[in-house]
Chains A and B, each alone.
Chain A
């Protein structure tokens, strides 16, 4: 530590940052002021310090003037501390002899009085000069990155990310909450704008996941805990009991056929409660893994979820030699170690009951879009026949856009995909029923490739597009033709009339929302959420798949509503970001770790339980505490708590902090 001011040779640079700083701070004046401070050898002001010539200037000055400390007063360290440390290193000086002073976000951008702002800049610069004298040479820490990856969520985004990484030779754990992977896409009938069958394009990828040797697929499982940091995460996964041994079950489904329940009786979740299933069931025919599961809430062998063993168990009999049914199965916790995590937990649809004016739940023939996907699907509860809850086939259908979206009372945002899927449903319903189809919209959003052309196609098919947000859906009839129908009252804003349109069936295009447990999940992975509740990306334009936690990435609708092409693109991007870390093999960490001065440690152990990274341990034979540098993240908690002041943190030592304070206060 070079405390002798005579030996100090400080180079000071104040950046104009174009107009950002110079408009409020008189940079040349500050430079002149700092030049006179003790220890300062040269003091410059420059238009753009972060530019190549600016950085080159620092390197050159170090060599020419034999500088041993650098202070740059400019923007936030978040942006350019790394840049200037690099320049310092290029000049041949240890990068940690560099200190950055923020006079933009902390000064020029928040004040309106030029004289005062310039004064403040001088104070801040002086503080930096005082502090940098106490800096020591430090080495950057390298932490190895575990090459395994955890992908949370098995929808199209999770599947694509997992496959990309697996094909690149990485070992992937894919954890999915539902009994099968596939997510929402598995429920769709056809996808826009190509009208590809969703299952046909998804199931090959699902099979690939199930078969890939590099992917460990854990369905019906959830992440319970995450510890650690980039490159070194320890994750606990909770595996719920299916009461079926996955390795032994062949997916023959004989157990379902022979169940004591002759007819399926319970609401089928996959078919949006439009169909029924038995206690032993498989979500859908192409489920991956091809393994059944038992619902303990309704299975007769259980009572309220607890095993009673009172049932005839015809399923076990049917299973025969395979013996895959295990009623005694319990919840299991698995602990895994990974280096990177990709969160792809998807979305949930807006609950249509929240808008009572549209009659969902009150009138049987009002459906949500997802229910229609199952209705028109050949493997759905009605085998693809559009038969309503009252048993009839509709001759007129109204599709209401923006249900729950673009509304201050419910969700402010546009859910991005509903216009397209509403048109798709219009096409499918017309194809299946030849009914009169009306789409009620506020704006038609068709931004993607082939989307506007899809709208043209729909117009040619004779679907009626009415621009007007529906006021209400009601069963009170004013004219004879309205008797027995659902009447949609809306202003046809383009034609200029308020209209009452009687239809047989109403479809609500519900919007996309964050999952119900998004807040819990974000805490689990140390992420943030935006105001709408979707997971927050590091930068909306330049870093859409990174989070503020290194090593944790986002993909798909959990980050915001989007269509399948964008989900797949994001999943690939997240996989690539993960591969950056894995292939590099290590991460460089700030050496801002804490260390304990053993002579001063009294062995009181106050610091040990405080460390969030469990980096501190007690050494019995020396009766002192010691910090594992590899685990320490430099949060500073132990430093503040230590009663004997024996813990010191690099880059934030007492002398450094106090001198900075004295520098600010001195006038």
Chain B
């Protein structure tokens, strides 16, 4: 089984650990992810703020390259990339005028796009295509006793709730439970982490992250599992500032794929667990027996 794979700028930069853990996990399940040839930045949220038409062009180039690659579907792990690529597909479908402009732009780049490549999220593929049974088979070290707060963030479930419920998504919950984790009752599953505001306007941005961290600890979680590189960065990288402003809420935040890798028996180094600011190490000894 082969899928096209769109990493996005973050997974090659600060979110490196997401790719490092995701690829071997898929491989262990017999699925190969082939990185899109010469993919470009999707535009994320910032581009839309400047020029929507060009944002569509940027995204469409990737869709066209994916179509050329020939694999039936494209996986985009970063929530923002996932949203932007899907949003562009919607625009192309709904507006013939946008279609015309985009096709003309693609032609200039000697590319074509006929709208056939679905853009999927890795959680969706793992749970709905590969299936929990297959995943359970590969669990060598069940993560028993590890209490996890599932954090989905906003852009994976809003505005397009393609594969899970918008208010109470459970795909990641079910996936992590299959690894042996205990999910904590976390009401802030889809509340915004502050996005890019944590860097540009620290007070409001960091408050959003602080709220998530504080509640996870209060609910008894040992670790927060995320799906988005920016969420992981926000929840993991600003603890000094958060402590200075409010209080210490040091709880590790990891990617769900890193937990999967641990359960599958891969090493911490392989999975990029050393890249987080708040280490998960103390938790691992009793959990990964």
Q: Do A's and B's CB atoms come within 8 Å in the complex? A: yes
Q: Interface on A for B, CB 8 Å cutoff? A: 356-357, 474-476, 478
Beta-carbon contact of A478 and B211 below 8 Å: yes
Beta-carbon contact of A474 and B187 below 8 Å: yes
Of the listed residues B187, B188, B215, the one surrounded by the most CB atoms of chain A closer than 10 A to its CB is B187
B residues in contact with A357, CB < 8 Å: 167
CA distance A551 to B187 in the complex (A): 55
CA distance A476 to B167 in the complex (A): 15
Beta-carbon contact of A476 and B168 below 8 Å: no
Beta-carbon contact of A356 and B167 below 8 Å: yes
Q: A356-B168, A476-B187, A478-B211 are in contact. List 7 more A-B contacts (CB 8 A).
A: A356-B167, A357-B167, A474-B187, A475-B187, A476-B188, A476-B211, A476-B215
B residues in contact with A474, CB < 8 Å: 187
Pick the 3 closest A-B CB pairs, nearest first.
A356-B167, A476-B187, A476-B215
CA distance A478 to B211 in the complex (A): 8
Query: How far is the CB of A35 from the nearest CB of chain B, in Å?
Result: 54
Query: How far is the CB of B72 from the nearest CB of chain A, in Å?
Result: 33
Q: Interface on B for A, CB 8 Å cutoff? A: 167-168, 187-188, 211, 215
Query: How far is the CB of B93 from the nearest CB of chain A, in Å?
Result: 21
Closest to A363 in B: B187
CA distance A474 to B211 in the complex (A): 14
Please list 10 pairs of residues, one from A and one from B, whose beta carbons are closer than 8 Å in the complex, sorted by A's number.
A356-B167, A356-B168, A357-B167, A474-B187, A475-B187, A476-B187, A476-B188, A476-B211, A476-B215, A478-B211
Query: How far is the CB of B154 from the nearest CB of chain A, in Å?
Result: 14
B residues in contact with A475, CB < 8 Å: 187
B residues in contact with A356, CB < 8 Å: 167-168
CA distance A335 to B58 in the complex (A): 71
CA distance A356 to B168 in the complex (A): 8
CA distance A476 to B187 in the complex (A): 7
Closest to A483 in B: B218
CA distance A630 to B168 in the complex (A): 62
CA distance A475 to B187 in the complex (A): 8
A residues in contact with B167, CB < 8 Å: 356-357
CA distance A474 to B167 in the complex (A): 12
Closest to A357 in B: B167
A residues in contact with B168, CB < 8 Å: 356
Query: How far is the CB of B246 from the nearest CB of chain A, in Å?
Result: 11
Query: How far is the CB of A329 from the nearest CB of chain B, in Å?
Result: 45
CA distance A474 to B188 in the complex (A): 9
Closest to A475 in B: B187
CA distance A475 to B218 in the complex (A): 12
CA distance A475 to B215 in the complex (A): 11
Query: How far is the CB of B210 from the nearest CB of chain A, in Å?
Result: 10
B residues in contact with A478, CB < 8 Å: 211
Query: How far is the CB of A588 from the nearest CB of chain B, in Å?
Result: 55
CA distance A357 to B189 in the complex (A): 13
Of the listed residues A356, A357, A476, the one surrounded by the most CB atoms of chain B closer than 10 A to its CB is A476
Query: How far is the CB of A202 from the nearest CB of chain B, in Å?
Result: 39
Closest to B211 in A: A478
CA distance A478 to B214 in the complex (A): 9
Closest to A474 in B: B187
CA distance A476 to B213 in the complex (A): 12
CA distance A326 to B168 in the complex (A): 49
Query: How far is the CB of A604 from the nearest CB of chain B, in Å?
Result: 55
CA distance A478 to B215 in the complex (A): 9
A residues in contact with B211, CB < 8 Å: 476, 478
CA distance A356 to B169 in the complex (A): 12
CA distance A236 to B167 in the complex (A): 46
CA distance A211 to B188 in the complex (A): 58
Query: How far is the CB of A480 from the nearest CB of chain B, in Å?
Result: 13
Query: How far is the CB of B209 from the nearest CB of chain A, in Å?
Result: 14
A residues in contact with B187, CB < 8 Å: 474-476
Closest to B215 in A: A476
Query: How far is the CB of B149 from the nearest CB of chain A, in Å?
Result: 12
Query: How far is the CB of A477 from the nearest CB of chain B, in Å?
Result: 8
Query: How far is the CB of B260 from the nearest CB of chain A, in Å?
Result: 28
CA distance A357 to B167 in the complex (A): 7
CA distance A238 to B188 in the complex (A): 51
CA distance A475 to B219 in the complex (A): 11
CA distance A530 to B237 in the complex (A): 56
CA distance A357 to B211 in the complex (A): 19
Query: How far is the CB of B14 from the nearest CB of chain A, in Å?
Result: 28
CA distance A476 to B185 in the complex (A): 11
CA distance A366 to B187 in the complex (A): 16
Closest to A478 in B: B211
Query: How far is the CB of A471 from the nearest CB of chain B, in Å?
Result: 12
CA distance A182 to B240 in the complex (A): 65
Query: How far is the CB of B183 from the nearest CB of chain A, in Å?
Result: 15
Closest to B166 in A: A356
Query: How far is the CB of A342 from the nearest CB of chain B, in Å?
Result: 42
Closest to B214 in A: A478
CA distance A469 to B73 in the complex (A): 41
Closest to B168 in A: A356
Query: How far is the CB of B271 from the nearest CB of chain A, in Å?
Result: 30
CA distance A643 to B215 in the complex (A): 80
CA distance A112 to B167 in the complex (A): 51
Query: How far is the CB of A649 from the nearest CB of chain B, in Å?
Result: 50
A residues in contact with B188, CB < 8 Å: 476
CA distance A632 to B168 in the complex (A): 58
Query: How far is the CB of A33 from the nearest CB of chain B, in Å?
Result: 47
B residues in contact with A476, CB < 8 Å: 187-188, 211, 215
CA distance A533 to B211 in the complex (A): 44
Query: How far is the CB of B160 from the nearest CB of chain A, in Å?
Result: 15
Closest to A359 in B: B187
Query: How far is the CB of A5 from the nearest CB of chain B, in Å?
Result: 59
Query: How far is the CB of A130 from the nearest CB of chain B, in Å?
Result: 49
CA distance A418 to B187 in the complex (A): 29
CA distance A476 to B186 in the complex (A): 9
Query: How far is the CB of A564 from the nearest CB of chain B, in Å?
Result: 35
CA distance A478 to B188 in the complex (A): 12
CA distance A478 to B247 in the complex (A): 13
Closest to B187 in A: A476
CA distance A476 to B184 in the complex (A): 13
Query: How far is the CB of A273 from the nearest CB of chain B, in Å?
Result: 23
Closest to B165 in A: A356
Query: How far is the CB of A419 from the nearest CB of chain B, in Å?
Result: 26
CA distance A356 to B189 in the complex (A): 14
CA distance A475 to B185 in the complex (A): 11
CA distance A356 to B167 in the complex (A): 7
Query: How far is the CB of B214 from the nearest CB of chain A, in Å?
Result: 9
Query: How far is the CB of A470 from the nearest CB of chain B, in Å?
Result: 14
A residues in contact with B215, CB < 8 Å: 476
Query: How far is the CB of B269 from the nearest CB of chain A, in Å?
Result: 36
CA distance A385 to B122 in the complex (A): 52
CA distance A474 to B185 in the complex (A): 13
Query: How far is the CB of B187 from the nearest CB of chain A, in Å?
Result: 5
CA distance A478 to B218 in the complex (A): 11
Query: How far is the CB of B174 from the nearest CB of chain A, in Å?
Result: 18
Closest to A356 in B: B167
Query: How far is the CB of A359 from the nearest CB of chain B, in Å?
Result: 9
CA distance A474 to B215 in the complex (A): 12
Query: How far is the CB of B145 from the nearest CB of chain A, in Å?
Result: 24
CA distance A226 to B168 in the complex (A): 46
Query: How far is the CB of A354 from the nearest CB of chain B, in Å?
Result: 11
Query: How far is the CB of A358 from the nearest CB of chain B, in Å?
Result: 10
CA distance A476 to B217 in the complex (A): 12
Query: How far is the CB of B242 from the nearest CB of chain A, in Å?
Result: 15
